[in-house]
Amino acid sequence: MELLVLITVILVIVAIAKVMRSNELSTQLTEDEEYVSLSEIKTQGFLYALFGFILFATLIMQMVGWGKYILPVSASEHGDAIDDLFYVTMYLILFVFFVTHLFLFGFIFKYYKKKGQKALWYPHNNKIEMLWTVIPAIVLIALVFYGLFTWDKVMYPKEDKNSINVELVGKQFDWTVRYSGKDNVLGEANFSAITSSNTLGVLHKVSLDSALSSTLASIKLLDKKVKELDSLVNKAGWIGKCEELDDAETQLSAWKANERRLKKLIKQNANFKASEDDIVLVNDTLWLPKGRTVNFTFRSKDVIHSAYFPHFRAQMNCVPGMKTVFTFKPRYTAEEMKVEAAKEGKTFRMYELICNKICGASHYKMRLPIVVLEQKEFDAKMASKKTFANEIGLK
């Protein structure tokens, strides 16, 4: 069957080549001045002009008709600078697009072949070459610098004493938010201390002890399993169990490494006070105070995710093994945003955080509602949540 398909494909290619060749030969035989008639050329010229007109008309119609679907005014203060950069670039592109295409279709129409008309042979002009090389180069350099200045302004804002620190951790496939609590300091975290109840591995004497005891329990179980498998493979000669034994041994050595790391952390006997008032919310809502600078720290527990806040014009990658940062100040609650959007003839429903990296099969699930609250409401919301100390049974 596959051979038949292959032969058919080859035969079709050969047939097309033969048809093209015969067409070429017949053209050579019949070729003369009027092979394409002047009236045909005229029709082509008109068709090009019509095509150009339809292209411009549909583009303008789309821009006018669908403009209301682009994002409303920025919900964060720095966002205006990003919007300005976007619009300057966009208007420039549109200007160049319209001018170049006007020339393209206009000239095809203006200079279609007419009776007795001869084409002008005009191979080179240094002045024109200079113009269309230097002007775009200057414009692009200016755009690059404008982009760099905007980046600088957005990424390194002035330090704000009234800011709050929030950590956002992505994992396949949800978000965990950690607020720094009353002291505004995020407690230390370490992956070795991660347990089912301490998903971020926040460090505290109590959480370290419970991580160590669950690590020891896992070691005990695996140790037993390895011994059983070992006797099956080495004493009873059950070769089929070799792979299982290898896996169990690898897991056992990983857990033993975790035990060593935890013991080292416990030995340091550090003061983990900062983590006590932290508030950890798994797959909940991102509550933000209005008019206050929020310093975000981003982390990932598995692959690269990207925390994307479209309404706030912010995005930052969450990379396993490192911390990334971004700072912004929300300026409208959802209700205020509805009013602002309506002023522009746009609709607004809700703020949300979405993952902007295709991070796996359920990537689409990585979204978290964002609610911007007035300071008082925000404080009340935080007071209603369990602190890390509550979670580990300290208070």
Cα 100 to Cα 138: distance, rounded to the nearest angstrom:
18
- Rounded least distance, CB 213 to Cu ion, Å: 32
Of the pair 274, 366, the CB lying nearest Cu ion is at 366
DSSP assignment of 214-271 equals: HHHHHHHHHHHHHHHHHIIIIIS--GGGHHHHHHHHHHHHHHHHHHHHHHHHHHHT--
């060749």: which residue's tokens? Answer: 21
Enumerate binding residues for Cu ion (CB under 5 A). Answer: 305, 355, 359, 366
Position 229: which residue type?
A: L
- Rounded least distance, CB 323 to Cu ion, Å: 17
Peptide bond into 173 cis (omega under 30): yes
CB 280 within 8 A of CB 175: no
Of the pair 281, 303, the CB lying nearest Cu ion is at 303
- Rounded least distance, CB 176 to Cu ion, Å: 13
- Rounded least distance, CB 74 to Cu ion, Å: 24
Of the pair 367, 381, the CB lying nearest Cu ion is at 367
CB 180 within 8 A of CB 382: no
Of the pair 85, 366, the CB lying nearest Cu ion is at 366
How many residues does the structure list for the chain?
395
- Rounded least distance, CB 285 to Cu ion, Å: 18
Cα 120 to Cα 182: distance, rounded to the nearest angstrom:
79
Of the pair 184, 283, the CB lying nearest Cu ion is at 283
Of the pair 241, 357, the CB lying nearest Cu ion is at 357
Of the pair 355, 392, the CB lying nearest Cu ion is at 355
- Rounded least distance, CB 172 to Cu ion, Å: 7
Cα 82 to Cα 153: distance, rounded to the nearest angstrom:
10
- Rounded least distance, CB 286 to Cu ion, Å: 15
- Rounded least distance, CB 305 to Cu ion, Å: 4
β strands within the chain, DSSP E: 164-171, 174-179, 279-282, 286-289, 294-300, 305-309, 314-318, 324-328, 351-355, 367-373
The distance of Cα 17 from the centroid of its chain, to the nearest Å, equals 46
- Rounded least distance, CB 367 to Cu ion, Å: 10
Of the pair 143, 319, the CB lying nearest Cu ion is at 319
C-alpha closest to that of 296 among 321, 279, 282, 315: 315
Estimate the crossing angle of helix 242-268 against helix 205-230, to 10 degrees. Answer: 160
Residues 6+ apart with CB under 8 A from 25: none
Of the pair 136, 369, the CB lying nearest Cu ion is at 369
Of the pair 355, 372, the CB lying nearest Cu ion is at 355
Cα 323 to Cα 169: distance, rounded to the nearest angstrom:
10
Q: Which helix (H) or strand (E) holds 155?
A: helix 126-155
- Rounded least distance, CB 395 to Cu ion, Å: 34
